[in-house]
Structure 1
Amino acid sequence: MNVFMLIGLFYLLRYVKKIQADPEKSLMYAVVGDFTKSNADDQNINANTDLSWRTILTLALFIG
Structure 2
Amino acid sequence: MMTINITSVNVRYAEGAADSVQVHFSAYDDQRTINVNGYIPLTAAEYEGNESLSALEGLVRQEVSSKIKAA
The TM-score, its normalising length taken from structure 1, stands at 0.21
Structure possessing the higher relative contact order (Cα contacts under 8 Å, 6 or more residues apart) = 2
Relative to total residues, which structure has the larger strand share, 1 or 2?
2
Which protein shows a greater Rg? 1
Relative to total residues, which structure has the larger helix share, 1 or 2?
1
